[in-house]
Structure 1
Amino acid sequence: MARHDDSADGAGYGTTLSGAVRDQVDGALAEADAELSRRYPGEPSTRQPVHTVYVPADALAGTGVGELVADWGRQALALLDRHAPDAATLAGIVGRPADHLADEVYDRVRAKLEREPVEDLRIDFEDGYGPRPDAEEDAAAVRAARLVAAAVAEGSAPPYVGIRMKCMEAAVRHRGIRTLDLFLTELLAAGGGGRLPEGLLLTLPKVTYTQQVSAMVRLVEDFERAAALPEGRIGFEIQIETTQSILGADGRATVARMIDAAEGRATGLHYGTFDYSASCGVGAAYQSMEHPVADHAKAVMQVAAAGTGVRLSDGSTNVIPTGDAAQVRDAWRLHHRLVRRSLERAYYQGWDMHPGHLPTRYAAVYSFYREGLDQSAARLSAYVSRTGGDVMDEPATAKALSSYLLRGLDCGAVDTTEVEKATGLDRQQLNALAGR
């Protein structure tokens, strides 16, 4: 039997396999290596918003983007003042122990509502807007673009902002394409410099077939070429609202094929609670983010998106905190529980439909990240220093721990100084461990 000495340090260790065999294996796996790298690039380095707020396009008539966002914050604070003026009251309403909504969480929620009440704003030209005369929608698309450009220029825009167009179904396809074209064209013109805002997000709703995703790719490709934009500049979210988007007629998971059809342009998968539930025949009274059909759809989405760089968003509740005190408290209790449930299942984003949802959105998000800060920091510190600790974590878990802390930092639940003190790691080191 031939023995080879191919040790790097010349120590003389013997092996049996020749270098030629390894080269053959490399050659045989080169295509698979390239496909793995292309399809599964890992988690994006950018911040993921904790929610998306949808407002119909006509809500911007007579106001600006910054003014609308600030008004949502004011309405949320007014509800908080009226129904939960302190941490203990809010904790009692949502059914959590007082220490889970301590003053530091409550104060952070109030500060968030004053500083940045909306992290992601979607101006809706679909269900929230409905069918309108073409001239009216044309004007609304142009107005939306001008207002977004103005808000970005003056610094009053939320971190992410964009539109949800009408879908690619035949009845509304041309209208949706025209609205998208008008919005992007005017956004480029109004923004100056021939560039689109960094936080631009576009949503394609009611996707049923991969061909619709491919059509969207061709549209934005053509726009980029015509507008002399960098290739790949425009991405889009895919809204999962139909049964066909989860399981195709051929028995395959359509959502995985949609990510592939997007050719690297898919930025997110957004679950549509009510359209999807209705398409499964769920009665209106039982349509919910926690219905079994919702859990199944989101589990398929989660597996399909894992490692691809495509982020997940849960849906919404249509129970609004309005009316008398009892109605507000019941709606808050439900919303807080649903947001917390989503976070525990690794759906780190959701939809909010009303300013009254903001207090419980941030209360649930902030308590989620603050409750786990000490334990996550200790485990990560032990992993990095290789001192062991109570739990023997592996690299994949260290990646998850780092991502958890980074998400808490991004939304304002925790501060850089307290994370650095607890872990001994700065942001750059956390990013490296998280694979960002």
Structure 2
Amino acid sequence: MRTTLGGHQDVPGFAAAHREQSWRYPGPGDAWQPVHTVYVPADRFGPGTAREWGDAALALLERHLPSAGRLAEVFGPVPGDLAADVRDRVARKLAAEPVEDLRIDFEDGYGTRPPAEEDAHAVRAAEAVAAAHAGGTLPRRWGPRVKSFADGDPGRALRTLDLLLTGVADRVGGLPPGLAVTFPKVLMESYLGQFATGLAGLERGLGLHAGALRFEMQVEAPQTVMFLQRSADLVPSLGGRLAAAHFGVFDYTAACGLPPGEQRLDHPVCDHAREVMRTALAGTGVELSDGSLAAAPASEATADVHALWRAHAGMVRHSLRHGFYQGWDMHPSHLVSRYATVYTFHLAAFDAYAARVAAWEACRDAEGGVMDEPATVKTLTAALRRAGMALEGTAP
């Protein structure tokens, strides 16, 4: 067989470029990702916090949605044959594992306190984490949100983190699995490297292996979006320490000058920021999380509880449709609408996705004349895997 170039061709520089590609863009990992993060002010956190949230959410469900009859009316489109299943899954989830991921908040939800008071709350939080771990009530992911370096006092953020992690390690004999540290209001790219250096120091002091302490950055300002757009080396420069990026809707919309009535998760300026997050971090293995709804039921009346659920479900559905599969919950009522919307989203498409993957594997077109491309099949497979993780532990 005649060729112009001859045999197998070596491409100069290819091997090095391919190694760099693999290093920069390892793709999504196989690790479980929670569907939400609950954050609780540090002075209100205790070993029973997750269970308390679950009990409160379950009570709301039983009182204001005792059957599946009004599920679609409250939470949006729910195929009729799924309504009873979704409600049952939500009830079982709230009873068994109401909170998948919890942040002990020392930032906006906590405020500025005298140094001695914050020290005391950090120590008390360490005691509560140790007690929750011993009692089996510590969520699968847990950790603090420390203060921002943008506040002008990085020492305060690192001291609180040190007190908490050292206190937990001393009481438990190590750090329980699932630790996540949230670093807010990253107005300067250099703050990320400085925070990573602080984590490295904590690792050495606690006798942890290098890289054991990773963190989540919060995207809460236009400045952050700008450096995400221009910095191709951000993730590699942090040496694998950046685990996730979480969007902060209220700080971001305020920084963009939006009026209070427009500070909402589905505003176009938020969609833009999330698209920058997605493209800047695509393929890096850094998880993405959306923001929250800052609202609780206006009263204990069923109409007000349903109104809250309806609003929250709409925001969660917006996030899911745009490929953000995790978000922040700020009130026990949000657990009901979070799980109901997530379960509906995954269950409604599961069988159709599975059939398309099966058709592809059998080398035939899917029903309805769908001709899937390899990239689509990869997406379908990822969606099935994500659905399996989200629905874990809720099956009858």
TM-score by length of 2: 0.94
Partner of residue 319 from structure 1, selected from 295, 298, 308: 295
Q: Distance in 2 between matches of 1:387 and 1:261?
A: 45
**Paired position in structure 1 for 2:25:** 40
Q: Distance in 2 between matches of 1:387 and 1:32?
A: 36
Over the residues paired in the alignment, what is the CA RMSD in angstroms?
2.0
1:362-397: CA deviations, max 9, x gaps?
A: 010000000001110001111222233232223322
How far apart are 1:197 and its partner, in Å?
2.1
Q: Is the 8 A contact 1:210 1:261 kept in 2?
A: no
How far apart are 1:274 and its partner, in Å?
0.3
Whether 1:362 and 2:339 are equivalent positions in the alignment is: yes
Whether 1:15 and 2:13 are equivalent positions in the alignment is: no
**Paired position in structure 2 for 1:30:** 15
Whether 1:304 and 2:280 are equivalent positions in the alignment is: yes
**Paired position in structure 1 for 2:101:** 120
Q: How does 1:275-354 map to 2 (within 5 A)?
A: 275-323=251-299, 324-354=301-331
Q: Describe the SS at the equivalent of 2:9.
A: helix
**Paired position in structure 1 for 2:202:** 223
Whether 1:133 and 2:110 are equivalent positions in the alignment is: no
Q: Distance in 2 between matches of 1:404 and 1:314?
A: 18
How far apart are 1:399 and its partner, in Å?
1.9
How far apart are 1:155 and its partner, in Å?
2.1
* Higher alpha-carbon deviation: 255-264 or 351-360: 255-264
Q: Is the 8 A contact 2:71 2:78 kept in 1?
A: no
Q: How does 1:159-308 map to 2 (within 5 A)?
A: 159-169=140-150, 171-192=152-173, 195-248=174-227, 253=229, 258-308=234-284
1:5-42: CA deviations, max 9, x gaps?
A: xxxxxxxx4433245x723x1x4123321221111111
How far apart are 1:167 and its partner, in Å?
0.8
What stretches of structure 1 of length at least 5 have no aligned partner? Answer: 1-12, 418-436
AA aligned opposite 1:132? R
Q: Distance in 2 between matches of 1:277 and 1:254?
A: 21
TM-score by length of 1: 0.86
Q: Distance in 2 between matches of 1:367 and 1:105?
A: 6
Q: Describe the SS at the equivalent of 2:328.
A: strand
Partner of residue 110 from structure 1, selected from 91, 99, 102: 91
AA aligned opposite 2:219? I
Q: Distance in 2 between matches of 1:70 and 1:292?
A: 36
Between the two proteins, what is the percent identity of the paired residues? 47
AA aligned opposite 2:180? L
Pairs aligned (count) = 393
AA aligned opposite 2:36? H
Q: Distance in 2 between matches of 1:416 and 1:89?
A: 21
Which structure exhibits the higher relative contact order, with contacts defined as CA atoms closer than 8 Å and separated by 6 or more residues? 2
**Paired position in structure 1 for 2:66:** 85
Q: Name the CA shift for 1:395/1:97 in 2 (closer, same or farther; >3 Å).
A: closer
How far apart are 1:189 and its partner, in Å?
1.4
Q: Is the 8 A contact 2:93 2:393 kept in 1?
A: no
How far apart are 1:322 and its partner, in Å?
4.0
1:181-236: CA deviations, max 9, x gaps?
A: 111212221221xx322211000000011100010111111222232211111110
Q: Describe the SS at the equivalent of 2:210.
A: coil
1:266-293: CA deviations, max 9, x gaps?
A: 1111000100000000111110001111
Q: Is the 8 A contact 1:245 1:254 kept in 2?
A: no
